[in-house]
């Protein structure tokens, strides 16, 4: 800068210096002319002397004129050009002097104005690009063809945790972390297409691929890269779209759809299987009771084995129904903290002395409408799962708290609604799980245990119960870091009911022979079995294979029908619909529902009112007769 100033000052002094040099030259020439004149005069040739002096004078005048009209304007133009070398300087070239010189000055002025316009346009373009680059909400990076970072925008710095200066010392390989060989090949293909195919596409799209942040965590992103020219050299601009959350939601949706499909299958199978078990159990019990004295000991043991095996099968089907959200429930408001406190002794016995149990169960948590037995199933299944993950001992923590679910959380939880919930968390210090295990964790019969150790229905049961209640269950785990299950249960405004102080009234005896019962069951063997049992107990029985036929038989019957014993899910007409239509014609009609999978009804779920008489298939003959006696005696005041 200092050198240019000195040069400019030196050039600015040239016109004055030239003036004095010219004046000195003029004086010298004048002195020479005078000397010549004196010499010629002394020689006596006056005419020659006059001509000589006149010629010299004309020459000097021409020289002076050229200096003033040409030399000085050119010198001034040269100085102006040198002083206007900076881009953006004003076009102020002098246009004085001869026509050619003036025209040259004008052209130079026009050239400077054109250059200034082009420079201003280029600066505007650069400023716009800079605003787009830095202002983009998507991470953007500028790299050379070797993959070294030249610059990144603020979004990239925020996403990956590096400063922009730190990025300039990194290579692409420091950030890209392909999860598998397919991703690695795709990234190499992008580089090859940009580097070796100049006639190829201007934009190359790829991904999703894995990238590593500064803290080591992985982000999933789709990318777009295109070629640019920077300072005359090729460069690449990359734009990334973070799809980590999107992929997580897609996995959750796929898992939910897969579990729903499995649940539909499990529920349908369990419904039919329960009908078969009801026949087996009831027939075995009748065989033992009716012919017990005539059976040998070995035959009695065979009947008992049949009964025991059928009971075990019934428990499995109930777990499948719970997973499929088809296990009927008649919930009441429950204090979750109080219920878990009552289970702590059972939990400690289940876990064993090598596992330390801690529980944070505050008072004042919002009530949840559910069956207390469901909550016990959830807690015990989670505790057993944690115990198996801590073979050498560890810690199990159970916490309960009130929790508000907002719009932001609903977006990441399919099926969850905004509102008040109870958050139940069960955390263990066990071996943890990998991503593949987590993806299949709640599927029925999925287990990581050795063959013969568990059915794989524990967590499926938890999933089904929580989803049936309108809640959400999720698991977070990493290998070697333990596991945390988080359950959200919707709170209810209804208060928790206190236990009655008076003991329950004694169970009424069967009212045999003085009641007419309409039995509606679509499974023929089971319908015949119910007819035999009830007829043998002295009741009058009207059997029907479905709701539509049952409605016709009831209307055709001339006497009073005292009780409707009906399955919930049947072809042609559902049990609850049949009950409502019959009660419209006979308000005093009492109803007992039977269910092999009571919940799904025409795409929805039927949650029976609290206190609704319900027999869960399979059930024994004694259960059936006792329930009928209680309902006919008015022990169950609520009818649907």
Between 328 and 10, where is the model more confident? Answer: 328
Query: Could you tell me the two tokens for 484?
Result: 């945390």
Report the 10 Å Cβ neighbour count for 424.
28
Assess contact for 329 and 468: CB atoms under 8 A: yes
Same domain, 345 and 218: no
The pLDDT score that the predictor gives to residue 507 is: 46
- List, for residues 232-279, the tens digit of each pLDDT value: 788 888 899 998 888 877 776 776 666 666 666 666 666 677 777 777
Same domain, 398 and 484: yes
Confidence at 421, pLDDT banded by 50, 70, 90: very high
Residue 410, domain CATH: 3.30.565.10
Task: Out of 277, 296, 320, pick the residue that ends a domain.
Answer: 320
Assess contact for 75 and 22: CB atoms under 8 A: no
DSSP calls for 187-214 = HHHHHHHHHH-TTS-SEEEEEEEEEE-T
Assess contact for 557 and 530: CB atoms under 8 A: no
Same domain, 475 and 376: yes
- List, for residues 580-615, the tens digit of each pLDDT value: 899 998 888 999 998 875 443 333 444 556 667 888
What Å distances lie between residue 357 and 40, 337, 349, 384, 475, CA to CA?
A: 135, 15, 11, 13, 19
Distance CA 524, CA 526 (A): 5
Residue 273 lies in a domain: yes
Residue 543 lies in a domain: yes
Same domain, 416 and 460: yes
- Torsion on CA atoms 191, 194, 196, 198, rounded to nearest 10: 180
Q: What is the mean pLDDT of residues 503-513?
A: 48
**Treating both helix axes as pointing N-terminal to C-terminal, what angle do 244-291 and 297-323 enclose, rounded to 10 degrees?**
160
- Of 43-47, 71-75, 120-124, 191-195, the range with the lowest mean pLDDT is 43-47
Q: Would you call 241 exposed, middle or buried from its count of C-beta atoms within 10 A (0-12, 13-18, 19+)?
A: middle
Task: Out of 455, 490, 525, pick the residue that ends a domain.
Answer: 490
Residue 63 lies in a domain: yes
Residue 171, domain CATH: 3.30.450.20
Assess contact for 533 and 625: CB atoms under 8 A: yes
DSSP calls for 539-595 = -EEEEESSHHHHHHHHHH--S---EEEEESS-SSS-HHHHHHHHHHH-TT-EEEEEE
Cβ neighbors of 155 (< 8 A, separation 6 or more) are 136, 137, 138, 139, 140
Same domain, 472 and 444: yes
The pLDDT score that the predictor gives to residue 44 is: 56
Q: What percent of the chain has pLDDT over 90?
A: 19
Residue 292: DSSP 8-state: G
- List, for residues 474-498, the tens digit of each pLDDT value: 999 988 889 999 999 999 988 887 6
Confidence at 25, pLDDT banded by 50, 70, 90: low
Same domain, 269 and 316: yes
Q: What is the mean pLDDT of residues 158-180?
A: 89
pLDDT at 499 over 90: no
Residue 541 lies in a domain: yes
CA 532 to chain centre: 56
Same domain, 336 and 316: no
Assess contact for 37 and 53: CB atoms under 8 A: yes
The pLDDT score that the predictor gives to residue 179 is: 83
Same domain, 405 and 482: yes
Q: What is the mean pLDDT of residues 25-36?
A: 63
- List, for residues 509-541, the tens digit of each pLDDT value: 444 557 999 999 988 888 888 898 898 888 999
Confidence at 425, pLDDT banded by 50, 70, 90: very high
Same domain, 367 and 237: no
Residue 112 lies in a domain: no
Main-chain phi, psi angles of 363, to 5 degrees: -80, 160
DSSP calls for 423-484 = EEEEEE-S----HHHHHTTTSTT---SPTTS--S-HHHHHHHHHHHTT-EEEEEE-TTS-EE
Which 3 state secondary structure label does DSSP give 498?
Answer: coil
The closest of 152, 128, 155, 131 to 142, measured between CA atoms, is 152
Same domain, 272 and 337: no
The pLDDT score that the predictor gives to residue 87 is: 53
Residue 202 lies in a domain: yes
Between 291 and 118, where is the model more confident? Answer: 118
- List, for residues 539-562, the tens digit of each pLDDT value: 999 999 999 999 999 999 988 899
Task: Out of 215, 242, 269, pick the residue that ends a domain.
Answer: 242
The residues that bridge with 226 in the sheet, in sequence order, are 203, 237
Assess contact for 121 and 93: CB atoms under 8 A: no
Same domain, 303 and 450: no
**Residue length, the chain?**
640
The pLDDT score that the predictor gives to residue 32 is: 63
- The domain total for the chain is 5
Q: Which domain holds residue 189?
A: 136-242
Same domain, 615 and 520: yes
In terms of DSSP H, where are the helices of 84-149? 99-135
The closest of 289, 483, 457, 284 to 386, measured between CA atoms, is 483
Which 3 state secondary structure label does DSSP give 506?
Answer: coil
Residue 408 lies in a domain: yes
pLDDT at 300 over 90: no
Confidence at 455, pLDDT banded by 50, 70, 90: low
- Of 66-70, 106-110, 238-242, 629-633, the range with the lowest mean pLDDT is 66-70
- Any idea what the Cα angle at residue 470 is, between residues 469 and 476, rounded to 5°? 100
Cβ neighbors of 312 (< 8 A, separation 6 or more) are none
Cβ neighbors of 51 (< 8 A, separation 6 or more) are none
Residue 413 lies in a domain: yes
- List, for residues 41-94, the tens digit of each pLDDT value: 665 556 665 666 676 666 666 666 666 666 666 666 566 656 555 555 554 555
């Amino acid at each position: 800068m200092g050198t240019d100033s000195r040069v400019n000052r030196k050039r600015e002094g040239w016109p004055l210096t030239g003036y004095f040099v010219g004046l000195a030259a003029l004086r010298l020439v004048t002195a020479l002319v005078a000397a010549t004149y004196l010499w010629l005069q002394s020689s006596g040739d006056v005419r020659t002397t006059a001509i000589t002096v006149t010629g010299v004078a004309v020459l000097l005048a021409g020289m002076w004129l050229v200096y003033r009209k040409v030399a000085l304007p050119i010198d001034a133009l040269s100085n102006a050009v040198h002083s206007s070398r900076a881009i953006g300087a004003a076009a102020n070239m002098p246009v004085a002097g001869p026509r050619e010189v003036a025209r040259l000055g004008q052209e130079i002025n026009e050239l400077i104005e054109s250059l200034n316009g082009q420079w201003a346009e280029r600066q505007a373009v650069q400023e716009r690009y800079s605003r787009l680059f830095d202002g983009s909400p998507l991470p953007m990076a500028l790299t050379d063809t070797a993959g070294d970072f030249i610059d990144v925008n603020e979004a990239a710095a925020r996403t990956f945790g590096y400063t922009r200066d730190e990025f300039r010392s990194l290579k692409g390989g420091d950030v890209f972390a392909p999860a598998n060989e397919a991703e690695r090949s795709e990234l190499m293909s992008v580089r090859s297409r940009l580097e070796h195919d100049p006639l190829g596409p201007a934009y190359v799209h790829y991904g999703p691929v894995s990238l590593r942040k500064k803290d080591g965590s992985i982000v999933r992103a789709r990318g777009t890269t295109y070629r640019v020219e920077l300072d005359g050299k090729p460069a690449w601009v990359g734009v990334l779209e973070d799809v980590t959350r999107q992929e997580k939601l897609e996995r959750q949706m796929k898992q939910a759809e897969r579990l729903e499909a499995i649940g539909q299958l499990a529920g349908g199978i369990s419904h039919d299987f329960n009908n078969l078990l009801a026949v087996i159990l009831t027939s075995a019990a009748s065989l033992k009771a009716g012919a017990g004295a005539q059976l040998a000991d070995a035959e009695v043991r065979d009947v008992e084995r049949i009964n025991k095996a059928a009971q075990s099968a019934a428990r499995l089907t109930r777990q499948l129904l719970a997973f499929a959200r088809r296990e009927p429930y008649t919930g009441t408001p429950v204090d979750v903290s109080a219920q878990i406190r009552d289970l702590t002794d059972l939990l400690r016995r289940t876990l064993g002395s090598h596992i330390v149990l801690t529980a944070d169960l505050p008072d004042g948590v919002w009530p949840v409408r559910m069956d207390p037995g469901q909550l016990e199933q959830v807690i015990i299944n989670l505790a057993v799962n944690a115990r198996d993950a801590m073979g050498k001992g560890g810690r199990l923590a159970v916490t309960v708290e009130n929790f508000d679910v907002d719009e932001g959380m609903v977006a990441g939880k399919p099926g969850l609604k905004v509102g008040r919930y109870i958050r139940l968390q069960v955390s263990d210090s066990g071996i943890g799980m990998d991503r593949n295990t987590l993806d299949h964790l709640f599927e029925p019969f999925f287990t990581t245990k050795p063959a013969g150790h568990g059915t794989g229905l524990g967590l499926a049961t938890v999933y089904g119960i929580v989803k049936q209640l309108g809640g959400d269950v999720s698991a977070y785990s990493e290998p070697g870091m333990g596991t945390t299950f988080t359950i959200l249960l919707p709170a209810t405004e209804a208060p928790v009911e206190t236990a009655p102080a008076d003991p329950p009234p004694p169970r009424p005896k069967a009212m045999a022979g003085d009641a007419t019962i309409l039995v509606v069951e679509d499974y023929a063997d089971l319908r015949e079995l119910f007819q035999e049992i009830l007829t043998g107990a002295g009741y009058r029985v009207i059997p029907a294979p479905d709701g539509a036929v049952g409605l016709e038989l009831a209307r055709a019957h001339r006497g009073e029908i005292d009780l409707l014993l009906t399955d919930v899910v049947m072809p042609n007409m559902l049990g609850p619909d049949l009950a409502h239509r019959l009660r419209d014609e006979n308000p005093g009609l009492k109803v007992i529902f039977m269910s092999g999978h009571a919940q799904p009804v025409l795409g929805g779920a039927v949650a029976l009112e609290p206190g609704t008489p319900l027999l869960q298939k399979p059930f024994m003959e004694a259960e059936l007769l006792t329930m009928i006696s209680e309902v006919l005696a008015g022990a169950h005041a609520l009818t649907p």
